[in-house]
Chains A and B, each alone.
Chain A
């Protein structure tokens, strides 16, 4: 500043040329000192601004660089995206992701594509040479050659040092238990997207959106825990495979349901497939018969008929119905399999599995009441679970008296077996209908979901009837000592070419254990079991599905933590007495 002040008095000493220039440029009366100060000030502001921007940018880089780093690592691989692990209720792995190398080519960078094809097919004998040549000699930037190769093959190909050939690590779904939990868990396609079962459910519940956003690449996803118990599943499957072989049935299926929470502890539909090899799933004989198939369940439906009558209060356990002669309705005639030709009480109708008796009960209740009851029990609407595959029940379009008569003993209405299991579970557990689930559920959640459909006393009477049926009725072969099983059998004639077949039947068995304090409901279903000499040439449920059910209970009850109690009194003392007391 002082320098500027010094120059001012000597302004007069300037040469005239410079004075002229100055007066031309700035005008005559400008204070150059003030001007210079203003310029310095401007320069300071400009520099501060520039350095400020640089500093701010540096800070920004410092913050942003960190959050970008993991993305840069991931983009190198992971084309097929990660999925959460699936565990059973005890934490056993049912499905997990493993990393496998996949082979790709960049045709533009390949020097000699014939040589490359030759060397690759030498290492990978199952590679189609013609197709590989077509892909590698094209002008594209990127082609897949083979997904999922072994580390040994990777090493061999790597050693050949072919330009334009590379590997990407991909997630591959691995099902360590093979076919044991096939239908329930479903499977994925080559890009690790769920296309069936729980895997598909996972995708439709947010996982697909995560994939789209490119976020589901890391393994840090919380595993999904199912209600399934792998040990019970294995025991059930093992027995069903044995039963299917023994009775030469075309299919066998089974469910174990926790009646208190609606959790599906095991579900098997034989024949099944290995999810590691999903091509098998395309075979139509391997469908999941429990959710995608609908069947006339046969006599197990009498449980609904009897429960409806008892719950209405119009019928008691001592009521009796005429079963002396066959029931004629129009041109139809209804027979009993074990005809007694006398008047039967309600427990007798249940234990002799009398079609006539069940039909008469339903007729006494009326068509509308029957229909309303079955709707309340969830038998007329499609049952939706986590599994994407579900089938709509086949309900008669015009529901007349004849329909009520046949549906009373389980013909004329086709439901998904899982649906029937849900309904019977509600009859057993005190009268609460709980939608079944494949995911782990607590008692509190189940209580919130459940809705009362019948009175607790009716449920106790139904349990008495189920137990009585094992003690004296058609399900005697399932009486495993110590577990106090109750059960109802069902044998439905199959429809072949629009007519009921005499030889082809579907047998099923619903078992509740223990009958006095129900915990688990078991369904066993056999499709077309054959008559065998050791079953006295019968193919009804009591000779095939019931012994299978007994064998399954004996194996799974210890696994499910049911304490065996020997020397329990018969059903009329243990269960029926409590009903009478509470009244």
Chain B
């Protein structure tokens, strides 16, 4: 009797085990397919990253940037005189300000007589008719109001 019961238990365990193994097998197939898919995807991504990096290298090429800068920017190359060390800075202004008082740094800048020149970071004021569309060109600034109006209309 015991033996027969044992047999049934073993058969039941066998069926369960078979079902379990089947499930594992099925899962692993699914996972393997997913893995292969992800691998191809990773490869494709890597390839497109490489293509984009190559493209970026082309766009970021100093030769090209220089041509663009010459065409669209009104900046000059940096001069050695434009560099200075931090210990040449003047003492900081007093760190308190009364309400309503004038801005000390603003006052210092206004106090300068000489006009601010063209440097590596300050562009030349835009002359009329220059092909710089980013800068505002008010019609009043131009001596020939009619011409600049037609220019604005053309834009």
Contacts and interface: CB of A to CB of B under 8 A. Distances in A.
Contact of A93 (B36, B39, B46, B57): B57
A566 B80 contact: yes
Given A93-B56, A98-B50, A483-B80, A234 B39 contact: no
Given A98-B54, A99-B50, A482 B80 contact: yes
A481 B35 CA distance: 63
A480 B57 contact: no
A93 B66 contact: no
A98 B32 CA distance: 28
A112 interface: no
B53 A96 contact: yes
Main secondary structure of the interface of B (DSSP, over half): helix
A176 interface: yes
Nearest to A235: B62
Contacts, number: 77
Interface in A559-583: 563-564, 566
Interface in B29-81: 32, 35-36, 39-40, 43, 46-47, 50-51, 53-58, 60-63, 66, 77-78, 80-81
B36 A73 contact: yes
B85 A563 contact: yes
B80 A96 contact: no
Contact of B81 (A73, A99, A238, A566): A566
A33 interface: no
Nearest to B52: A98
Contact of A238 (B32, B46, B66, B83): B66
Contacts of A99: 47, 50-51
Given A99-B47, A482-B81, A174 B40 contact: no
B94 to A, nearest CB: 31
B50 A69 contact: no
Interface residues of A, number: 32
Contacts of B61: 176-178, 180, 234
A564 B53 contact: no
Residue among B43, B80, B81, B83 with max Cβ neighbours from chain A (10 Å): B80
B63 A93 contact: no
Interface string B10-35: 00000000000000000000001001
A324 B78 CA distance: 46
A524 B36 CA distance: 55
Contacts of B55: 176
A96 B47 contact: no
Contacts of A180: 61-63
B51 A234 contact: no
B25 to A, nearest CB: 11
Interface string A48-77: 000000000000000000000110010000
Nearest to A232: B62
Contacts of B77: 554-555
Residue among B43, B54, B61 with max Cβ neighbours from chain A (10 Å): B54
A230 B63 CA distance: 10
Nearest to A73: B39
Contact of A234 (B35, B40, B62): B62
B54 A219 contact: no
A389 interface: no
Contacts of A566: 80-81
Contacts of B85: 563
A231 interface: yes
Interface in A472-498: 480-483
B80 A480 contact: yes
A177 B55 CA distance: 10
Interface of B: 32, 35-36, 39-40, 43, 46-47, 50-51, 53-58, 60-63, 66, 77-78, 80-81, 83, 85
6 contacts: A73-B40, A174-B54, A177-B57, A180-B61, A219-B47, A482-B81
**Which 9 interchain pairs have the tightest Cβ spacing?**
A176-B57, A482-B80, A564-B80, A234-B62, A93-B57, A176-B58, A99-B47, A174-B54, A98-B51
